[in-house]
């Protein structure tokens, strides 16, 4: 199996049997996009909602620029721009809504949803919000998104969306 781990603010696109993984999504949002017909998928680990239009060394961090980058990357390896489906996870408020965090999670979720809508990409499932962090694994061939989250009994819960 071909697993690829994506760090904070990074993105990747791949095809075939690849599995895209990202760890420790707190207020960050993991956006998974797939072209079912051509078996091409991509993932971006979005950290902040808006780049403010500025040039940045790490454009993958932001919802607006990050999503465009991953779509470009997918196109490069043969994905079409139509009939894309998306799954999103993350956007938790791990420390409650203290003023310092300004509810980045919720803003990230909204920004990601707006960007997906603008690009006519349908969200087919999501697991967002709450106050627990997530780790996600996205299988490009099956389109399944495995989510790990700390649940009751100090165990890490595993479920599919």
Positions that interact with other proteins (CB under 8 A): 5, 7-10, 23-28, 47-48, 57-58, 61, 94-96, 98, 100-101, 104, 132-135, 148, 150-154, 156
- 82 vs 152, which CB is nearer to other proteins? 152
Q: Give the whole-angstrom CA distance, residue 86 versus residue 102.
A: 26
Q: Is the Cβ of residue 113 or residue 149 nearer to other proteins in the bound state?
A: 149
Residue number with CB closer to other proteins (87 or 149): 149
How far apart (Å, rounded) are the C-alpha atoms in residues 40 and 46? 20
Distance from C-alpha of 69 to C-alpha of 51, rounded to nearest angstrom: 13
Q: Which residue stretches of the chain are H helix? A: 63-76, 104-118
Q: Position of tokens 């003023």?
A: 99
Q: Decide: 94 and 133 in contact? Cβ < 8 Å.
A: yes
Cα–Cα dist 133/73, whole Å: 27
To other proteins, the closest distance from the beta carbon of 94 in angstroms equals 5
Residue 123 forms beta bridges with which residues?
86
Q: How far is the CB of 154 from other proteins (least distance, A)?
A: 5
- If the CB atoms of residues 101 and 125 are measured against other proteins, the closer one turns out to be 101
Is 28 a residue of the active site? yes
What does the block give as tokens for 29? 């949002």
Closest CB 55 distance from other proteins, rounded Å: 13
Whole-number minimum distance, CB 63 to other proteins, in Å?
12
Q: Catalytic one among 12, 18, 28, 84? A: 28
As annotated, the active-site residues are 28
């Amino acid at each position: 199996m071909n697993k690829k781990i994506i760090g904070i603010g990074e993105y990747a696109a791949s095809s075939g049997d690849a599995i895209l993984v990202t760890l420790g999504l707190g207020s960050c949002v993991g956006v998974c996009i797939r072209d079912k017909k051509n078996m091409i998928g991509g993932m971006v680990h979005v950290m902040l909602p808006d780049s403010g239009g500025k040039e940045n060394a790490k454009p993958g961090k932001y919802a607006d620029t990050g999503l465009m980058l991953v779509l470009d990357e997918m196109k490069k390896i043969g994905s079409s721009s139509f009939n894309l489906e998306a799954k999103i996870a993350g956007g938790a408020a791990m420390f409650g809504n203290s003023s310092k965090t300004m509810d980045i999670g919720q803003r990230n979720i909204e920004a990601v949803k707006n960007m997906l809508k603008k690009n006519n990409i349908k969200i087919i499932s999501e697991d967002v919000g709450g106050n627990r962090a997530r780790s996600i694994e996205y299988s490009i061939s099956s389109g399944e998104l495995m989510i790990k989250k700390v649940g009751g009994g100090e165990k890490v819960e595993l479920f599919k969306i």
